[in-house]
């Protein structure tokens, strides 16, 4: 039941992570939202993610991971059903911030809970990678379900996702989870010590750089390929069945490897392969070659997020949720920074995206330096 609870929570987060991009076209058309308002809605969700992941850690370390996960799932269900009735920019942005807070709590709690899952055939880092496979699965299925099952009707998709969040909430409610491992009360001095710990700072920096790179691919790769002459439908297919599929395959493949190779070495190898594959994928305008290179870029990136969180849990077992929350919050900061940076370099010319996206291999090189420090 513990494994199922962690899988369901991570799967729900995968669904809501892809939710905004899936429902925004319908909401924009229905309520005449401008591109600027769309950007502010996305920013509201990102701020919510940072708030939720940062502040829930101490709650879970003192009251238990179950308390945090129930809170996060309740906020997600509230936001999803609220979005179904939201009309206009302000209520949509408000509910997206609540959805972000719930999502930040869930991803922190689910990955902290993954540290309590013990499987004989897999190391701790292997378990993290296997469970985070379901994040990618949720992100991959959301747009497919929306387009094929609900015919892009955002209201029906929101009810479906909200219902799944409630089912997961009920399952977590009946699942026995380990008691809190930390102190009986939150101590600011402990949090301050974590914030100044060199190992945690390095791990947080790793997630900041990684999320900046991953978001750069999700948000800009299709537009770059279109500017290189690749048809729009083909470019979107390369993104979903190339990059997303690479993430799924990479996490499955690396899980058994982590039984014999240290997590730090896996992070180093991933960073090196990211630098190579992200650079090469920007050089090709051939759709077939681009698909191959984007797929391998996804495989290279796949282990970084779950393996980094596994190292956080192993290094800080007594304050795992707080430490995870700090590291994940740094990752969300990368989400906030990435797209404005790439967009600022590209300016108004889509053809300049090729140069702007060199941020991706540059970030990967910085990740190599951070992994050496670890």
User: Per residue in 301-355, pLDDT tens?
Assistant: 999 999 999 999 889 887 888 888 899 999 989 888 887 888 888 877 777 888 9
Phi-psi domain of 32 (left: phi exceeds 0; alpha: psi -120 through 50; beta: other): left
* C-alpha atoms less than 13 angstroms from C-alpha of 311 in its C-beta half-sphere: 24
| pLDDT tens-digit series, residues 51-80 | 998 888 888 888 888 999 999 999 999 999
Roughly how many angstroms between the first and final C-alpha of the chain, as a whole number?
Answer: 34
Element (H, E) at 319: none
Hey, what domains does the chain have and what are their CATH numbers?
A: 1-186 (1.20.1250.20), 187-374 (1.20.1250.20)
Q: What percent of the chain has pLDDT over 90?
A: 41
The stretches of 64-184 forming alpha helices (DSSP H) are 65-85, 89-114, 124-148, 154-174
Intervals of the chain under pLDDT 70: 35, 121, 181-191
Give 327's contacts (C-beta < 8 A, 6+ positions apart).
200, 203, 204, 207, 308, 309, 312
pLDDT at residue 192 in the model: 73
Residues 308, 322: Cα–Cα separation, whole Å: 15
Tell me if the pTM is above 0.75: yes
């Amino acid at each position: 039941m513990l494994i199922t609870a962690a899988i369901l929570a991570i799967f729900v987060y995968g669904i809501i992570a892809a939710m905004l991009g899936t429902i925004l076209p319908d909401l924009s058309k229905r309520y005449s939202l401008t591109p600027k308002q769309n950007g502010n809605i996305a920013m509201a969700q990102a701020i919510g993610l940072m708030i939720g992941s940062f502040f829930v850690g101490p709650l879970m370390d003192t009251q238990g991971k179950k308390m945090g996960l129930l809170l996060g799932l309740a906020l997600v269900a509230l936001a999803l059903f609220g979005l179904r009735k939201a009309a206009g920019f302000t209520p949509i942005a408000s509910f997206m911030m609540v959805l972000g807070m719930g999502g930040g709590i869930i991803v922190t709690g689910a990955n902290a809970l993954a540290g309590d899952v013990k499987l004989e055939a897999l190391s701790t880092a292997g378990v993290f990678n296997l469970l985070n496979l379901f994040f990618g699965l949720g992100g991959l299925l959301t747009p497919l379900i929306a387009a094929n099952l609900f015919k892009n009707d955002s209201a029906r998709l929101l009810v479906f996702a909200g219902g799944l969040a409630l089912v997961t909430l009920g399952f977590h409610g009946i699942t026995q989870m380990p008691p809190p491992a930390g102190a009986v009360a939150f101590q600011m001095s402990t949090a301050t010590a974590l914030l100044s710990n060199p190992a945690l700072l390095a791990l947080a920096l790793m997630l900041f750089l990684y999320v900046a790179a991953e978001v750069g691919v999700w948000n800009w790769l299709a537009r770059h390929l279109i500017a290189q002459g690749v048809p729009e439908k083909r470019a979107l297919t390369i993104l979903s069945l190339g990059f997303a599929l690479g993430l799924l395959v990479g996490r499955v493949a690396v899980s058994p490897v982590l039984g014999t190779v240290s997590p730090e070495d896996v992070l180093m190898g991933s960073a090196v392969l990211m630098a190579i594959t992200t650079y090469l994928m920007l050089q090709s305008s051939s759709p077939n070659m681009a698909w191959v290179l984007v797929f391998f870029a996804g495989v290279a990136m796949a282990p970084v997020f779950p393996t980094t969180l596994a190292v956080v849990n192993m290094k800080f077992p007594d304050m795992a949720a707080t430490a995870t929350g700090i590291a994940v919050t740094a990752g969300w900061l990368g989400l906030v920074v990435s797209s404005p940076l790439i967009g600022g370099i590209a300016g108004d010319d889509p053809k300049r995206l090729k140069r702007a996206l060199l941020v991706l291999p540059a970030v990967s090189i910085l990740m190599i330096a951070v992994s050496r420090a670890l």
